[in-house]
């Protein structure tokens, strides 16, 4: 049961599509700085600004850079500079630069500001453009991205499928269609889309990561590990891939037969990956939960509780943490605490399979 309840992370790609090679490297670095800044105690927005300004000095028409510059400037508290980045992006889009991609990044910017009217207006323009240019795969692709961003899943699927009808080798359309399928639980279809995407993508780390996470859910742990190792080779500093590889190693370490001991070598590999994830992203809840599950598998429930309580202090609504806490208290014989944790777990509306397993545990513990 532990294997099924290990948290699974499927990431969104921030990969640029169609950016000139000279500008793509600083833009990619800027996105990585912004992503890293989401971790506790890390603020690399100033580095992101430097990379974005370098990208724009090479290509002032790189519209995506204006969006990330807005995000970074705003995070630094420089509202005036953020407003200037917004104005530059609006001016570029009004002048027709960037095409459908420019409108998409403008829509994302309006979402950041909470301007729902502008989001709706921009999306309507993108729909009109796609209808007026039915044979333009990029218009449909970016419309799909806009639909996805605004939570309109079925129209997003249709837009990505239309893109692929027009251009079957559109790697990013395959990637994002796989992303949507994965979120819907259509795992085999998601894997097929990522199979198609990978040979077509210049930046492959997110696709390898996502396919690895999907293979994990499908139970193909060896192939999952192979994909996640490939993701780390592509991007050694992505904590999500290190965490997810650790989760795969941990699942593989679980004994197949009753009373057998977990695989010590795989436990050590899992711990190394969780530690690396935490080095790259201090306080990363997924990695801490993974470490808690590892301590449980080693039989050290008290140590597991210490780690898991760190997660709950910052993320009290973590279903994975509450379930692991249930296991830890049960292992220590703290039945009342285990039942309380289980009730908290169930109150957070976990996935149906998890809720069913929790119900069985509740009966085993004799919870009221």
Burial class of residue 155, CB neighbours in 10 A (0-12, 13-18, 19+): middle
Taking the C-alpha atoms of residue 157 and residue 147, their distance in angstroms, rounded to an integer, is 9
Residue 353 pLDDT grade (very low, low, confident, very high; cuts 50, 70, 90): confident
Residue 24 pLDDT grade (very low, low, confident, very high; cuts 50, 70, 90): low
Half-sphere exposure of 117 (CA within 13 A, CB side): 0
User: Tokens representing 41?
Assistant: 């105690």
Helix, coil or strand: residue 353: helix
- Is the confidence at residue 12, as pLDDT, over 50? no
Taking the C-alpha atoms of residue 102 and residue 81, their distance in angstroms, rounded to an integer, is 19
pLDDT for 106-126, tens place per residue? 999 999 999 999 999 999 999
- Is the confidence at residue 325, as pLDDT, over 50? yes
Burial class of residue 283, CB neighbours in 10 A (0-12, 13-18, 19+): middle
- Is the confidence at residue 154, as pLDDT, over 60? yes
pLDDT for 267-292, tens place per residue? 999 999 999 999 999 999 999 999 99
Taking the C-alpha atoms of residue 113 and residue 97, their distance in angstroms, rounded to an integer, is 22
In order of 25, 121, 318, 340, the CA distances from 18 in angstroms are 12, 25, 38, 52
Topology of domain 299-368, CATH: 1.25.40
CB count in 10 Å sphere of residue 339: 19
> Which carries the bigger pLDDT value, residue 358 or residue 152?
152
C-beta separation of 317 from 30 below 8 A: no
User: Tokens representing 303?
Assistant: 């140590």
- Is the confidence at residue 193, as pLDDT, over 70? yes
User: Tokens representing 171?
Assistant: 């790697």
pLDDT for res 13? 39
Calculate what percentage of the chain has a pLDDT beyond 90.
86
C-beta separation of 229 from 203 below 8 A: no
pLDDT for 52-100, tens place per residue? 999 999 898 899 999 999 999 999 999 999 999 999 999 999 999 999 9
Tokens 């912004």 -> residue: 34
C-beta separation of 245 from 233 below 8 A: no
User: Tokens representing 23?
Assistant: 């500008």
C-beta separation of 178 from 194 below 8 A: yes
pLDDT for res 19? 38
- Is the confidence at residue 15, as pLDDT, over 70? no
In order of 36, 65, 241, 284, 329, the CA distances from 221 in angstroms are 27, 37, 14, 23, 29
pLDDT for 206-233, tens place per residue? 999 999 999 999 999 999 999 999 999 9
pLDDT for res 318? 93
Q: Where are the domains of the chain?
A: 299-368
CB count in 10 Å sphere of residue 340: 16
Helix, coil or strand: residue 268: helix
User: Tokens representing 42?
Assistant: 């890390």
Question: What average pLDDT score do residues 175-203 get?
Answer: 96
- Write down the pTM of the prediction: 0.91
pLDDT for res 306? 96
């Amino acid at each position: 049961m532990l294997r099924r309840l290990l948290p699974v992370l499927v990431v969104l790609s921030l990969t640029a599509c169609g950016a000139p090679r000279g500008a793509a490297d600083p833009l990619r670095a800027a996105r990585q700085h912004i992503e890293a800044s989401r971790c506790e105690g890390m603020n690399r927005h100033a580095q992101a600004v430097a990379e974005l300004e370098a990208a724009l000095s090479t290509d002032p028409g790189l519209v995506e850079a204006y969006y990330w510059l807005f995000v970074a400037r705003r995070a630094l508290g420089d509202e005036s500079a953020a407003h200037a980045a917004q104005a530059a992006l609006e001016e570029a889009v009004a002048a027709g630069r960037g095409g459908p991609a420019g409108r998409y990044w403008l829509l994302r910017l309006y979402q950041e500001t909470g301007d729902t009217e502008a989001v709706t207006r921009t999306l309507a323009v993108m729909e009109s453009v796609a209808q007026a240019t039915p044979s333009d795969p990029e218009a449909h692709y970016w419309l799909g991205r806009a639909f996805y961003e605004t939570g309109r899943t079925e129209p997003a699927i249709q837009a990505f499928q239309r893109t692929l009808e027009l251009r079957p080798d559109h790697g990013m359309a395959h990637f994002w269609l796989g992303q949507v399928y994965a979120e819907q639980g259509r795992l085999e279809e998601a894997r097929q889309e990522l199979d198609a995407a990978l040979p077509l993508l210049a930046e492959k780390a997110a696709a390898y990561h996502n396919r690895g996470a999907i293979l994990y859910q499908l139970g193909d742990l060896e192939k999952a590990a192979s994909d996640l190792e490939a993701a780390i080779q592509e991007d050694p500093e992505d904590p999500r891939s290190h965490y997810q590889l650790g989760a795969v190693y941990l699942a593989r370490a679980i004994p197949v037969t009753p009373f057998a001991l977990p695989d010590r070598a795989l436990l050590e590999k899992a711990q190394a990956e969780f530690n690396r994830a935490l080095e790259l992203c201090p306080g990363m809840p997924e990695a801490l939960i993974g470490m808690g599950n590892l301590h449980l598998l080693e039989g050290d429930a008290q140590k597991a509780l210490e780690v898991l309580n760190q997660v709950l202090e910052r993320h009290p609504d973590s279903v994975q943490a509450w379930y692991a806490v249930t296991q830890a208290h049960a292992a220590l014989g703290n039945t009342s605490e285990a039942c309380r944790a289980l009730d908290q777990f169930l109150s957070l509306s976990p996935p149906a399979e998890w809720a069913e397993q929790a119900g069985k545990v509740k009966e085993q513990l004799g919870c009221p």
